[in-house]
Structure 1
Amino acid sequence: MKIIKIVNNNIVTSLDEQNREIIVMGRGLGFGRKPGMTIDDGKVEKVFRLNSAGENQKLVDIIQDIPLEHIKAADQIIEYAKNMLGEKLKETIYLSLIDHIDGAIERYENQIQFANPLLWEIKQYYPSEFKVGVQSLNILKKMLGIELPVDEAAFIALHFITAEYDTKMDVTFDIPRLIDDIIAIVESEFSIKINKESIHYERFITHLKFFAARVLQAKQMPDDDDFLFRNMIRDQYKESYACAQKIRQHLGECYGVEISEEEVVYLTVHIKRVTMHVD
């Protein structure tokens, strides 16, 4: 590989075998070097291959002033997350997490801490992502000797949730709140307390996470022509359908979203399932 551009002493850009731009990282990789020179393979520690030239440039802009140790720590966290979450992450996780980790370290050094208002919800609704966040704190402590609070584990988890569900961060923040609202409406309408340890609750939450991501991004399931199915659900699950309609009204009033009838019908089915299995 030949150097195309020197980003800093530790980072250069090059081209891969398919002539696509890549970002190559390694201690001293760009020190005293010039474009056109061959990259010292023995110094290469990481190669970033993002999906587009635009994303590559954004990453270059982010990492050019970030210490190498911070980038390496963020990269190790991402590799751990890929193993834990099944590698279903959008490549933009490199952009957001490296920047976030560097900012978290700066806040730590300046003794600035933020409480995470969604700590409970993230632990409850996204246990795998929260586990990644907790392990991230362990990685940062081991690699950099810093000890961040558990609220930071939840902030890190939010970045992985965003990368998994391909949402924007403001949408990711709204999803747990929307789920909270739906759970509260269901429990109120049926005068029940849903068993948070049951498999039926887990399935309900899984549906709500995708449901929330769709409606908050205007990517809902469109109404189809299966009127027979919709009428059957309305007739057989009257109480659950009435509850779904209250949820529809609430989301319209509080989040400014319109819920399609198709979404309401499938929400009805899931409400029926979770309310059938209450101790």
Structure 2
Amino acid sequence: MYTVNKVLNVNVIVIEKDGRDAVAFGKGVGYHQKIGAQVLEEKISKIYVPIENNRIEPLIEFMNNVPVKYLEVANEVVNQAEETLSTELSASTLYALTDHIYFTVERMKEDVMITSSMYWEFKRFYPEEFKAAKKGVNIIENALSITLSEQEVGNITFHIIN
């Protein structure tokens, strides 16, 4: 069992794991939860623990300012990439990708596009990560009802590699 430290939405909560705050995902895991409540391990599908515990506060502040749908979409992209690559990505990938997706959408609203100067290098030298990023772009487009430029595949590849 884990203690709920914060409810971000119905599917995302902050829990205490091994004396540290962590972000936990699970279908309905935050539904009717209160701070201090106990949540069963079976209700959680994925847990992300920050590398350094002192980074959780800025992370929670960030998540309070970014709509949770971006965190959920980033989680889908990370899960898909992990499955495609048969590897586990770090928690920092989730947070960086959430930030990237959110600001990409905000820039799109202002007609500002950023290209990936490393697009061709990523495509050539990281073909599996590039393939995972391409699937990730499809997830983002479908979930947020937007159309991203092909250059976004390079940007998402960057986050998967790092």
Alignment-mate amino acid for residue 90 of structure 1: S
Whole-angstrom CA distance in 2 between matches of 1:139 and 1:112: 21
- Mapped contact 1:7–1:60 kept (Cα < 8 A): no
Whole-angstrom CA distance in 2 between matches of 1:94 and 1:58: 15
1:68 aligns with 2:85: no
Counting only pairs closer than 5 Å after superposition, residues 124-135 of structure 1 correspond to structure 2 as: 124-135=124-135
**Aligned-pair identity (%):** 23
Cα 1:37/1:89, change in 2 over 3 Å: closer
Which one has the bigger strand percentage?
2
Match of 2:4 in 1: 3
Larger radius of gyration: 1
Which one has the bigger helix percentage?
1
Match of 2:16 in 1: 15
Whole-angstrom CA distance in 1 between matches of 2:41 and 2:145: 29
Cα 1:87/1:141, change in 2 over 3 Å: same
Whole-angstrom CA distance in 2 between matches of 1:78 and 1:12: 17
Match of 1:167 in 2: none
Match of 1:24 in 2: 24
Per-residue deviation at 1:61? 3.0
Alignment-mate amino acid for residue 2 of structure 1: T
Counting only pairs closer than 5 Å after superposition, residues 82-97 of structure 1 correspond to structure 2 as: 82-87=82-87, 89-97=89-97
1:119 aligns with 2:119: yes
Cα 1:102/1:13, change in 2 over 3 Å: same
Whole-angstrom CA distance in 2 between matches of 1:152 and 1:136: 10
Counting only pairs closer than 5 Å after superposition, residues 125-164 of structure 1 correspond to structure 2 as: 125-162=125-162
Counting only pairs closer than 5 Å after superposition, residues 171-210 of structure 1 correspond to structure 2 as: none
Whole-angstrom CA distance in 1 between matches of 2:65 and 2:59: 11
RMSD over aligned Cα atoms: 2.9
- Mapped contact 2:7–2:34 kept (Cα < 8 A): no
Task: Give the structure-1-normalised TM-score.
Answer: 0.48
Cα 1:13/1:116, change in 2 over 3 Å: closer
What is the DSSP-based 3-state SS (H/G/I as helix, E as strand, rest coil) of the residue aligned with 1:3? strand
Cα deviation, 1:112-151, whole Å, max 9, x if unaligned, reads 2122222222212221221122111111122121110010
What is the DSSP-based 3-state SS (H/G/I as helix, E as strand, rest coil) of the residue aligned with 1:114? coil
Counting only pairs closer than 5 Å after superposition, residues 101-112 of structure 1 correspond to structure 2 as: 101-112=101-112
Provide the aligned length of Structure 1 versus Structure 2: 159
Per-residue deviation at 1:68? 2.0
Whole-angstrom CA distance in 1 between matches of 2:76 and 2:65: 19
Per-residue deviation at 1:50? 3.1
Alignment-mate amino acid for residue 37 of structure 1: A
Cα deviation, 1:189-224, whole Å, max 9, x if unaligned, reads xxxxxxxxxxxxxxxxxxxxxxxxxxxxxxxxxxxx
**Unaligned 5+ residue runs, structure 2?**
none
- Mapped contact 2:137–2:156 kept (Cα < 8 A): no
Alignment-mate amino acid for residue 112 of structure 1: V
- Mapped contact 1:81–1:132 kept (Cα < 8 A): yes
Whole-angstrom CA distance in 1 between matches of 2:29 and 2:46: 13
- Mapped contact 2:85–2:128 kept (Cα < 8 A): yes
Whole-angstrom CA distance in 2 between matches of 1:113 and 1:100: 13
- Mapped contact 1:28–1:43 kept (Cα < 8 A): yes
- Mapped contact 1:7–1:64 kept (Cα < 8 A): no
- Mapped contact 2:133–2:153 kept (Cα < 8 A): yes
**Which segments of structure 1 move beyond 6 Å, counting only runs of 4 or more?**
40-43
**Unaligned 5+ residue runs, structure 1?**
163-279
Counting only pairs closer than 5 Å after superposition, residues 39-54 of structure 1 correspond to structure 2 as: 39=39, 46-54=46-54
Whole-angstrom CA distance in 1 between matches of 2:149 and 2:19: 43
What is the DSSP-based 3-state SS (H/G/I as helix, E as strand, rest coil) of the residue aligned with 1:158? helix
